[in-house]
Amino acid sequence: NQIFCSSLSGYGIPLGENFIERLKTELSATDSMVIFMLSENFYKSPACMCEMGATWIQSKEHIPVLIPPFSFEDIDGTLKLTQGFMINDSMKWNEFKDKIIQTFGLEDLSDSVWERKRDRAIARINEFVTLGGNK
């Protein structure tokens, strides 16, 4: 109930609500972190460009996550200067988890629980990317 995802039904913007106003409201929360899922489609989306600009203007903490075959060389705009990671890099997932725990003051998972969940997620991501599901 604390996740806002502008492109995922149930986590985003309800029918009839003003997209820009809701985005401003969500970004004005003091304890927010923006996670950009970067792909070719991200850069083709006016809504994504709007979110990126709003995040930059408000100096919100943000983390770019790259979806293969998109690579670091493909990044344009303000995100080029922000340290990000490839979505299937297990070591970076560990850093990502630590960052989220630190930012939001969450309780850490045991290593065995975390690694099992992380490895399962990465296997599903790699399967999806291999099948070309990111296009």
Residue 128, token pair as written in the block? 């999806």
Q: Residues 6 or more apart from 21 whose CB is under 8 A from it?
A: none
State how far the Cα of 85 lies from the Cα of 80, in Å rounded to an integer.
12
Query: Could you read off the pLDDT tens digit of each residue along the chain, which spans 135 residues?
Result: 577 887 778 878 888 888 878 878 887 776 788 888 999 998 888 888 888 887 877 777 889 999 999 999 998 877 777 889 999 999 999 999 999 999 888 899 899 999 999 999 999 999 988 876 544
Query: 40, 51, 73, 95: which one is catalytic?
Result: 51
User: Is 127 in the active site?
Assistant: no
What DSSP designation does 62 have? E
Rg from Cα positions in the chain: 15
- Asked if 90 and 60 touch (Cβ cutoff 8 Å), the reply is no
